[in-house]
Amino acid sequence: MYTAEEFRQDVIANIKGNSEFSPLVESILQNSKFQFNDTSYFTRVIWNTYERNLVIFCAPEDRIELEKYKDPLYSLCSKIHGNQDDYLIMSLEIIAKNHISPVTNATSMTDDKITITTSIEIDRSSTNNIGHGGFGTVYKYYDEEKEELIAVKIYEPSIFQNSSPEIMKKRFLREGKKLLSYSHPNVVKAFDYGFLGDESAYIKMEYISGDRLSDFVLSNKPLNPALIDTLCYQYIDAMSYIHSQTDMHRDISYSNVMVTKANEIKVLDFGFARNADDTNYDTKYKDIQRKFVIPNEKYTFRTEVYCIGAILYTLITGNTFDDYNPDSTDSIDESECTFKLKEAVKICLSLKPEKRFSDAVELKKFVQKSDTVIIPHNFSLDFFKKMLSESVILHFYPKNLPTKEIIAEWLDNKYREHIKSSAFQSTVNLLSLLNHISGVTKITFYKNVKYDLDKTPFIELLNFYDTLSDEMKELFIRNILLIILEVSKDDDLDLPFC
């Protein structure tokens, strides 16, 4: 049976980040009690479905806030409940109870402590203060419910900000809402946000133990080439995700990119982030510290790509961006990272915006890499030869055995297309792959042999092929042809030697 408590948790989950409700509504519902009053009357909405009345009990001080949102709250509750247990919610009643502690007045700040709710209190001591930025101070505390350290960002704007306190707080809460909507392993995760009395606000998020990017690079240089690749791809993936939401971070700096103890990238501080389609954004441009941006350049996705390039430059060279010389690429070329990554950084740092990637999504496509797309240092076709010799015989029409041209066309087109078409699968079907070779009339396969094979070596083969020069590609194709001819059958001819 769908209990009132289960329903309350579902409602809270759907209110998180919902712009139709104030953040305070979620906090009040967290502190409230739901009760179903069922009837034996049929509804007129759905036949054989009974009426159910919902009662929300809360503190007297909090009832005023809930009443403001009664209509959208009822609409949301009706939608969530649906027709579970053969009941529909037909009415909503909000009742005040004196024994329930209020949320509205529970939040407070003093010089010694910050009280977010009756169960969350933060000591302002220096040991808990872990950072301060343009929008506020970040504290850590131990969350007994989650059984882990949590970071809480408190709205305390810097005196150097130019916008009014009202706009600053609105921007702070927008950051909380945006973070709640994000879901990416390399973007800081938010759990909750809301008002803190009348003057402040908070964002509760994951606690990150690590170093800001520049400190990590300078204290650990030279970085291992494999670690450089890992960190760069994580950062590119995170920024690609942000840009795919049509958002711009707009405050890219070393302080806003952290490297955890587990060597994971975390992008944080979204106080200046905005959606490209948001025409009502109230940030004054002079509020933004243009750390890596070329002077007098209008801020666009291509501008942000330049800033991304500055972060990548530090990762691959071990130098801060202050050392970057736009007239020389020597420091980039000397890096031990992959050739593709070097080229990507050069494109990002083009002085002319039109020569850069249009956004981080395009950048990610350029350097696309996954666990299965790794170019081995000592690649061998032995696996391919062994696999075919133990699995199949390929049949062709008389005098129609494959040639180098046919194998080249197969590898460049059909083979590549087949691998791409199985992008969301971990295996590739060998028979389907071989059947794409021009001229194959039949495939004889051996008994008890598996044909859905791990896709990794097939991808490695293709990636290795793509790195070869034209001359080496011709030799590679010749070797594949010889392997295929060994398992090919032409009744009228002996196998030719190419």
Summarize the annotated binding site as residue ranges. 153
List the end-to-end C-alpha distance of the chain, in Å, as a whole number: 73
Report the alpha-carbon distance of residue 98 to residue 311 in Å, rounded. Answer: 54
CA gap 31, 362 in Å, rounded: 45
Query: CA separation (Å) from 359 to 238, 246, 337?
Result: 12, 10, 22
- 162 phi/psi in degrees, rounded to 5: -95, -20
Whether the CB-CB separation of 463 and 373 falls below 8 Å is answered with yes
Give, in order, the Cα–Cα distances in Å from 285 to each of 223, 289, 298. Answer: 36, 9, 10
Neighbours of 496 (CB within 10 A): 10
Cα 22 to Cα 385: distance, rounded to the nearest angstrom: 65
Residues annotated within a binding site for ATP = 153
498, 404 in Cβ contact below 8 A? Answer: yes
Which pairing describes strands 87-96 and 50-58: parallel, antiparallel, or unpaired? Answer: parallel
- Other beta carbons within 10 angstroms of residue 262's beta carbon come to 7
C-alpha to C-alpha distances, 159 to 110, 245, 288, 404, nearest whole angstrom: 19, 31, 14, 71
Chain center to CA of 320: 26
Angle (CA) 79 82 85, round 5°? 150
Nearest to 361 by CA among 231, 236, 257, 188: 236
C-alpha–C-alpha distance, residues 274 and 446, integer Å? 59
